[in-house]
Structure 1
Amino acid sequence: MSTAMPFDAGTTLISEVTAAVKNAGVTLRDRHTPYARGVSLNEVVAEIHANDDAVLDALREPLLRARPGSQWAEDELAGGALPAGEWWVVDPAEGNINHVHGMEDWAVTATLVRDNLPVLTVVHLPLTGDTYTAVAGGGARLNDRPLKVSAKTDLGAALVGTGQARPGEDKHTFRRIGESVTTMLTDALVVRVSVPATMQLIHVAAGRMDAFWQFSDVRSGLVAGALLVSEAGGTVTDLAGKPWSTAARDFLAAAPGVHGAALDSLSPIV
């Protein structure tokens, strides 16, 4: 992934976005329980929608107000390119399925996308209080600490990960996921398969994981992590090795020292 030029967010915009995301995080934290909610599929889906609705109410107005002229990408599970201009791509409960099952791997994310490239992002983890931020050309940070990707150069020593982007993917995508996991179980050290994408990508940006890939174009699960990894010194492409944007159909973010080997392993899986 590359940006045409650094994004001048100014201290006001990043502060306003961070405040909005943290405020929304309080709502999501207050809805969290240490036990699973919902038994039937309909009940689980209802809990997911209730989380989304509650948090979106706290996010939409302050984000649009913070960036006059920006637009709102309505469908968090949508993929593909957006029209030209600036768009807020938000996941009010990234890892919603984990939240409603009483788990702790979830976050609130808000990313400003300009002409199909993320230029500013805030990822807040309400249970820990940690906040990951990145601005194009300005680096990536965890709270007040700069982030830097792993220095590994051997895929055989790498901790890597993937996961499905949404329920109900087509059988072709499921087959590719399965083949990729089998391949990486041979080529890498350890493979994680989990959701959501952002929770793995923050580990790549922080150097705790070495690569993450996904056979998907779901924007809300990728834009935040793509910018964080890129600004932390990582390499973000599609699985043909081309610079990634929201128009890409698949995704690979990795430490530079293992990106080429990971691409060689994954690109033949079609």
Structure 2
Amino acid sequence: MTNALLNTVVEAAHTAGSLIDRRPTTRPQGMDALRAALRTNDDAVTDVLRPALTAALPGSGWNTDEHGEGPMPGGDWWVIDPMGGNLNAVHGMPDWNIGISLVRDGQPVLAVVHAPVAGETFTAIAGAGAWLNGVPVSAATTTDLSAALTGTGQARPSRDPAHARRVGDAVAAMMERALYVRVSVPVSHQLTQVAAGRMDVHWQFDNLRSHIAPVLIARESGATVTDLDGKPWDITSSGYVAAAPGVHAAALDALRTVR
């Protein structure tokens, strides 16, 4: 994996992000208008990214199923989350970003998460570390969960009562042990905060393809990333905990009753 390819991906993400960042925001009045606004943003970003990335890596596949999960075919695949936190962007809030990962034969090898409003671009190459705006980042050195900033969020829209209760029970369980629990989207925002050492723990009961880029960034920063049973994370894991190494075991233990 080359830095030249990473630079091409970063440039494409910046181009797409500036397009969205300049758009006026008007809060939609109903669900139809909201869905239309979300599609418009996703399409605008995809229209910039797809030609740039597929040209940079001829023969590569393309995947924008941000809620997809499970194994992927062999070969090179660009996995895109065009607008992480799209709902925030549509409502004029700053917490949104563009996520790009390259998966090679089922393994993530490159990641970019670009947050235009914050002016932050997180990058990673497998085995070579993680960076924020070109400066290396590392996970926090926190060793006490009672002093830890933790979080989760809604990986995909769901009104399933059992799922809602599970998430609520997990938040309550973590609130009993951690200093603070943040429940927000996008997932990629929290994971990059773990990578930067600003947050200590992020957990999810879903492991979607849109999470691949920020999970790789967190892992390359030195965060411990496992599934909910403590086994090493991969793209087929059913869920995960990404945490500062010193609090990862305690975070897993806090969630033991709701795994």
Question: Which amino acid is the alignment partner of residue 196 of structure 2?
Answer: A
Question: Which amino acid is the alignment partner of residue 174 of structure 1?
Answer: A
Question: CA–CA distance in 1 between the matches of 2:31 and 2:258?
Answer: 32
Give SS of 1:187's match: coil
Question: Does residue 1:226 correspond to 2:218, yes or no?
Answer: no
Give the TM-score normalised by the residue count of structure 1: 0.92
CA contact (8 A) 2:64 2:82 kept: no
- 1:38-57 aligned within 5 A: 38-57=28-47
Q: 1:170 aligns with which of 160, 173, 191?
A: 160
Alpha-carbon distance, 1:266 to partner? 1.1
For 2:256, the equivalent position in structure 1 comes to: 267
- 1:111-122 aligned within 5 A: 111-122=101-112
- The alignment yields a C-alpha RMSD, in angstroms, of 1.3
Question: CA–CA distance in 1 between the matches of 2:41 and 2:163?
Answer: 27
The size of the alignment, in residue pairs, is 259
For 2:53, the equivalent position in structure 1 comes to: 63
For 1:3, the equivalent position in structure 2 comes to: none
Question: Does residue 1:109 correspond to 2:81, yes or no?
Answer: no
Question: CA–CA distance in 1 between the matches of 2:139 and 2:65?
Answer: 30
- 1:181-192 aligned within 5 A: 181-192=171-182
CA contact (8 A) 2:99 2:214 kept: no
Alpha-carbon distance, 1:169 to partner? 5.1
Unaligned 5+ segments in structure 1 are 1-8
CA contact (8 A) 2:225 2:242 kept: yes
For 1:6, the equivalent position in structure 2 comes to: none
CA contact (8 A) 1:99 1:106 kept: yes
Q: 2:8 aligns with which of 13, 16, 21?
A: 16
Give SS of 1:173's match: helix
Give SS of 1:164's match: coil
Give SS of 2:257's match: coil
Percent identity between the aligned chains? 50
- More deviation, 175-184/77-86: 77-86
Unaligned 5+ segments in structure 2 are none
Question: CA–CA distance in 2 between the matches of 1:74 and 1:223?
Answer: 12
Q: Deviations over 1:31-50 (max 9, x none)?
A: 253xx420111111110011
Question: Does residue 1:144 correspond to 2:134, yes or no?
Answer: yes
For 1:208, the equivalent position in structure 2 comes to: 198
Question: CA–CA distance in 2 between the matches of 1:200 and 1:181?
Answer: 15
Q: 1:26 aligns with which of 18, 21, 46?
A: 18
Question: CA–CA distance in 1 between the matches of 2:24 and 2:75?
Answer: 35
